[in-house]
Chains A and B, each alone.
Chain A
Amino acid sequence: MTRYAADPSAIKALIHPERVHRDVYTDPDIFRLEMKHLFANTWVYVGHASQIPNPGDYLTTEIGDQPVMASRHTDGSIHVLYNRCPHKGTKIASEACGNTGKFFRCPYHAWSFKTNGALLAIPFKKGYDGTGLEESEAVKGLAPVGAAHVYRDFIFARLAPSGVDFATFFGESLSSIDNMIDRSPEGKLVLEGAPLRYMHPCNWKMLVENQTDTCHPMVAHESSAGTAVSVWEREQAKGGKKPMAVEVYAPFMSPYDFFEKMGIRVWPNGHGHTGVTTSIHADYSAIPGYFEKMVEAYGEERARAILGENRHNTIYFPNIMVKGPIQTLRLFKPIAADRTLVESYTFRLVGAPDMLFERTLMYNRLINAPTSIVGHDDLEMYERAQLGLHADGLEWVNIQRLYEPGEAEDVTEISGGTSERQMRNQFHAWAKYMTMSMKPEDAAFQEAAQ
C-alpha cells in the first residue's frame, strides 16, 4: 500500500506556499496519482488542427499515460478518442500523424470504426448473435475522452467526463496563444517541421518550472550563451552583421535586473508567463517585409500592439509552454517520476516571410534540441536535481523567492520577473487538481486494505 493513495490531506501536506516536499518529484506513487487525477482533471494539449486538415487525418499522442488520438471526421469536426480497440485493446493508430481513409480498421481482428469513433462493422458478426454484445461497452466503438475543445486550432482535452470547463480553466491566459496566432498577417498558424524530441532523466515538473525560472540563464547558460557572446565579440572585429544565432543566444546572458524588469504574470489554475513588459525576444533584427504585411493586414496601430507584446514563456498548466514571439510550443510528456519526453514544435505564420520560419527553426534547434548546447546545460541541472533530491538531509524544495506572506492564490497578478510566484501558482493548482476527484471513501478503502 502506498503512503499517498487517494488521500487528499496527504497530498495537500506536500505543498506549502513557499516550499514543496521532494516526493512530488521522486515518488512513483505520486506520479501514478498525477496520471490518474491531475492529468484527468486538467485540460491537456493534444495537438494542432493543421496537423489533421482533411477528413480521415489523425494524430496520436498521450495525455498523461493515456494513449489518445485526435481524428478529423467526415463532417470536419475533430474528435479526441482513446487509442484502443474496444475489442482486445490493440492500439488502432500507430503513427504520429497519418490518414486512415474513410474509417479506422483494427489491424488485429478488423473491427472497424467511423472517424468519430462509432463502431462501423465487425467481421462474421453472427458469432455475436444472442450473446448480448449490444449491451457491452465494446459495441460503443472507440471511447471518446471526457471532453475536447478546439481553441483557434489548438486542440485540448480533459479525460474526466465532468470538471472545470475549458473557458474557466484557461481564462485570460489564452491571450498568449492569441498573440502567437495574431502574428500571422492572415491570423493563421500551420504546425510545420518535425518536432525535436529530447528525453530527460528528471520529473516533468522540473522542466515546467524551469520555463519561468529567470534566475538560472546567466548562471547555467554561462557555458553556452556566455561562450557565444565571447566568441562573437572576438569574431565581430572581422566585420559583418550580428548573426541571427548570436541574437538568439546572447540575451540569455542578460543581467538579473533585466529579468526582474521583464515581470511575471500569474493567472488562476496554474497558468502564467514571464515577459510582461519586455523579454529576451524583444530585440531581434526586423525581418524584411514582415512589418509591412502586418500593417497591411491589421493597420499600423494594431500591428504595433501585436508585435509589441513580447511574452517570453507562457505556461499552460499542466504541461505545455508557448513562446509567442518565436512560434514554438513545448510539450512536456511525463513518462515516469524520473523521466520526461520533451517535444518541441514549430509553427509557421501563414502569410509571413519565410525568414521568420527560418528563425523559428533555428531557435528550436539552438535551444531545444538534444544537440543544443543550451539544452545540455539545462538537462545537466535537472539530472543533478533529480539525483540530489534523494539526499535525506533535506526533504523540501524552496520556492520562496519574492514570496509575500499571505500571497493571494488563484488570481491574476503581476510581480517582479525574478519571482518564483509562477512555480507557487503551479503547485497551488497541482494540489487542487490532484485532489478534486479523490473521494474520502477511496482513502477509507485503502486504509481498510492495509
Chain B
Amino acid sequence: MSAVTEKDLVDFVYREARLLDELRYEEWLGLYAEDAHYWMPAEWRQTDPRLQASLMYEDMLLLRIRVERLSGARTFSQKPKSRAQHLLQAPQVDELNPAENRYRTYTPFHYAETRGDEFNIYAGWARHELRVEEGNLKIVLKRVDLVNFDAPFGNIQLFM
C-alpha cells in the first residue's frame, strides 16, 4: 500500500460500519489485527481496560465467539435476528503517523439495534487505532464510549 492518506482512514471507518450494518461479520473480523481489542468502557474518561469496569474488552477469541454465537441454532436471543444501523459523523483523523505505523480516528455516532419489535438507539464516540499490516489497514483497538455508559441497558447484542 502506498502512503496512507486521510481519505484512506475515513473510508476505512465507513467501510467497517457498512460491514456491520450488512451483518457481514466474517469480513468485519478480517479488519482486525490478531492482537486487536474491542473496548466499551463503563467509566467516564476511562484509562484502564483491565482494572476498571468495562462493558466489553474483548480480544479476537472473544469476538469470534460472539460472531459464531450470533448464527448458532440454539441462540434463542437471536430469534428473530437483530439488525443494526450506524449513522456516523464524518470521521476526524487524530493521528497520521507512518513513521510509527500508527493512525487514529475519532467518529461520533448514533447507532440503532433491533430485536423483533424492539428498537433501541445509542449515541457515543468511536475511536479507531489502526496500523498497516501487509499493505492493509487493520484495527488494533476500537474504543466505543457511549454517552450514557452508566445507564441501565437491556440487551446490546451486536457491535457499535
Q: Which residues of A contact B (CB under 8 A)?
A: 193-201, 220, 222-224, 226-228, 230-232, 235, 243, 245-246, 249, 341-343, 346, 354, 357-358, 361-362, 364-365, 369-371, 373, 375-377, 379-381
User: How many angstroms from the CA of A346 to the CA of B57 in the assembled complex?
Assistant: 16
B42 partner residues in chain A, CB cutoff 8 A: 194, 196, 365, 369
A227-B72, A377-B76 are known; give 20 further A-B pairs, CB within 8 A: A193-B52, A194-B42, A222-B72, A223-B77, A224-B65, A235-B61, A243-B61, A245-B61, A341-B152, A343-B152, A346-B53, A354-B51, A365-B42, A365-B53, A365-B54, A365-B55, A373-B157, A376-B77, A377-B77, A379-B77
Interface size class of B (residues with CB under 8 A): 20 to 34
15 A–B contacts from the bound complex (CB under 8 Å): A196-B53, A198-B152, A223-B69, A226-B74, A231-B64, A343-B152, A361-B52, A369-B42, A370-B152, A370-B155, A371-B40, A371-B153, A371-B156, A373-B65, A380-B155
Q: Choose among B42, B53, B66, B154 the residue with the greatest number of A CB atoms under 10 Å from its CB.
A: B53
CA distance A361 to B64 in the complex (A): 21
Q: Is the CB of B56 within 8 A of A369?
A: yes
In this complex, the member of B74, B155, B157 whose beta carbon has the largest number of chain A beta carbons within 10 angstroms is B155
Q: Decide yes or no: A379 and B155 within 8 Å by CB, A193-B52, A369-B56, A373-B69 being known contacts.
A: yes
Does B50 make an interface contact (CB < 8 A)? yes
B residues 28-77 near A (Cβ < 8 Å) are: 40, 42-43, 50-57, 59, 61-62, 64-66, 68-69, 72, 74-77
B69 contacts A199, C-beta separation under 8 Å: no
Q: How far is the CB of A96 from chain B (nearest CB, A)?
A: 9
* Chain A residues within an 8 Å CB radius of B40: 371
Query: Inside 8 A of B152's CB, which chain A residues have their CB?
Result: 197-199, 341-343, 370
Chain B residues within 8 Å of A197, by CB = 150-153
Q: Is the CB of A231 within 8 A of B154?
A: no
Cβ of B155: which chain A residues have Cβ within 8 Å of it?
A: 370, 375-376, 379-380
| Most B-side CB within 10 Å, residue of A194, A243, A342, A379 | A194
In the assembled complex, the Cα of A346 lies from the Cα of B52 at a distance in Å of 10
User: Are B154 and A222 within 8 A (Cβ)?
Assistant: no
* Bound CA–CA A361/B75 (angstroms): 25
* Chain B residues in 8 Å Cβ range of A371: 40, 55-56, 153, 156
Interface residues of B (CB under 8 A from A): 40, 42-43, 50-57, 59, 61-62, 64-66, 68-69, 72, 74-77, 150-157
Of A246, A362, A373, which contacts B66 at CB under 8 A?
A: A373
> Which residues of B sit under 8 angstroms from A361, Cβ to Cβ?
50-54
Question: Which residues of chain B come closer than 8 Å to A369, judged between CB atoms?
Answer: 42, 55-56
Tell whether A227 pairs with B154 under 8 Å between CB atoms, given A357-B51, A379-B77. Answer: no
Chain B residues with CB under 8 Å of A222's CB are: 72, 74
Cβ of B69 and Cβ of A224 under 8 Å apart? yes
A290 CB to nearest B CB, Å: 16
Majority secondary structure, A binding face: helix
Instruction: Pick the contact of A199: B50, B53, B61, B153 (CB < 8 A).
Output: B153
Q: Is the CB of A194 within 8 A of B154?
A: no
**Shortest Cβ distance from residue A232 to the other chain B in the assembled complex, whole angstroms:** 7
A358 contacts B50, C-beta separation under 8 Å:
yes
Distance in Å: Cβ of A39 to nearest Cβ of chain B: 19
Chain A: CB-nearest residue to B79:
A380
Tell whether, in the assembled complex, residue B76 and residue A380 are in contact, meaning their CB atoms are under 8 Å apart. yes
Contacts of B72 in A (CB 8 A): 222-223, 226-227
Q: Smallest distance from the beta carbon of A351 to chain B beta carbons, Å?
A: 15
Q: Are B65 and A231 in contact (CB under 8 A)?
A: yes
B150 touches A227 (CB 8 A): no
CB-based contact A380/B65 at 8 Å: no
Q: Which of B43, B62, B156 contacts A245 (CB 8 A)?
A: B62
Query: Which of B64, B72, B154 is the most central at the interface, judged by chain A CB atoms within 10 Å of its CB?
Result: B154
- A284: shortest Cβ distance to chain B, in Å? 17
Chain A residue at minimum C-beta to C-beta distance from B52? A193
A196–B153 Cα distance when bound, in Å, is 9
* B104–chain A nearest beta-carbon distance, Å: 24
Q: Sort A-B residue pairs by CB-CB distance and give the 4 closest, nearest first.
A: A197-B152, A193-B53, A370-B153, A380-B77
Interface centre among A228, A235, A371, by most B CB within 10 Å?
A371
How many angstroms from the CA of A5 to the CA of B18 in the assembled complex? Answer: 55
A228 touches B65 (CB 8 A): yes
Considering the chains assembled together, what is the distance between the CA atoms of A224 and B58 in angstroms?
14
Cβ–Cβ < 8 Å partners of B68 in chain A: 227, 230-231
Contact at B156–A370, with CB atoms within 8 Å? Answer: yes
Cβ distance A390 to chain B, nearest Cβ, rounded Å: 17
Tell me how far the C-beta of B122 lies from the nearest C-beta in chain A, rounded to whole angstroms.
11
Most buried by A among B55, B61, B77: B77
Report how far A232 CA is from B68 CA in the complex, Å. Answer: 12
How far, in whole Å, are A30 and B61 apart by their CA atoms in the complex? 45
State how many angstroms separate the Cβ of B38 from the closest Cβ of chain A: 10
Closest beta carbon of chain B to A288's beta carbon, Å: 15
Q: Contact: A365 with B56, CB < 8 Å?
A: yes
What CA separation (Å) do A365 and B55 show in the bound complex?
A: 6
Nearest chain B residue, comparing its CB with the CB of A195: B53
Residues of A within 8 A of B43 (CB): 194
A201–chain B nearest beta-carbon distance, Å:
7
* From A196, A235, A357, A362, contact of B55 by CB (8 A): A196
* B157-A376 in contact (CB<8A): yes
State the Cβ distance, A150 to closest chain B Cβ, in Å.
25
List residues of chain A with CB within 8 A of the CB of B76.
Answer: 220, 223, 377, 380-381
Contact of A227 with B50 at beta-carbon distance under 8 Å, contacts A197-B151, A365-B57, A370-B156 already known: no
Asked whether, in the complex, the Cβ of A358 is within 8 Å of the Cβ of B77, the reply is no
